[in-house]
Amino acid sequence: MRILIDADGCPVVDIAVGAAKKHKMECIILCDTSHVFKKEGATTIMVSKGADSVDFALVNMVQNGDVVITQDYGLAAMCLARHAVPISQNGLIYSEDNIDGLLMQRHTAKEIRMGGGRMKGHAKRKVCQDEAFKETLEACLQNKK
């Protein structure tokens, strides 16, 4: 089991790398050329800039039982199909029970934007979100041992 991080825009990279060190696990950070990540205790894989280039690189690497950190519902769905455990940056474990609804929300939001509508942006990140992520990640890693 490894931790794979979709690092483009990911606010919990340091927390995930710290958890990987603590549990003596391999940690792989994937990003495109517009982001630079060098973290001790993790391997960084940089891919060409392009729509979903990091997502496709990650899903081609993911193995059964890997923990994947992403905020991308489409990537989470592909990882579920590969029997990985995708987790959001807020500590939500994506599952067969919730992924369809999340993908539908994404589709509906895109339709609104394409029709000229606007969606409210994300609120500023709070400490409690980092704590929720850390708790969920720790629980997943404890259950995998």
pLDDT score of 145: 53
Which amino acid, one-letter code, is at 56?
Answer: F
d(CA 49, CA 32): 5
Residue 107 has pLDDT above 90, yes or no: no
Q: Summarize pLDDT for 7-48 with one digit per residue, the tens.
A: 988 899 999 999 999 999 999 999 988 877 889 999 999 998
d(CA 24, CA 40): 13
- Split at pLDDT 50, 70, 90, the class of 6 is very high
Query: Which residues share a beta bridge with 4?
Result: 28, 68
d(CA 31, CA 42): 13
d(CA 90, CA 71): 9
pLDDT score of 111: 78
Concatenated DSSP letters of 94-111:
P-TTTHHHHHHHHHHHHH
Name the token pair of 131.
């704590």
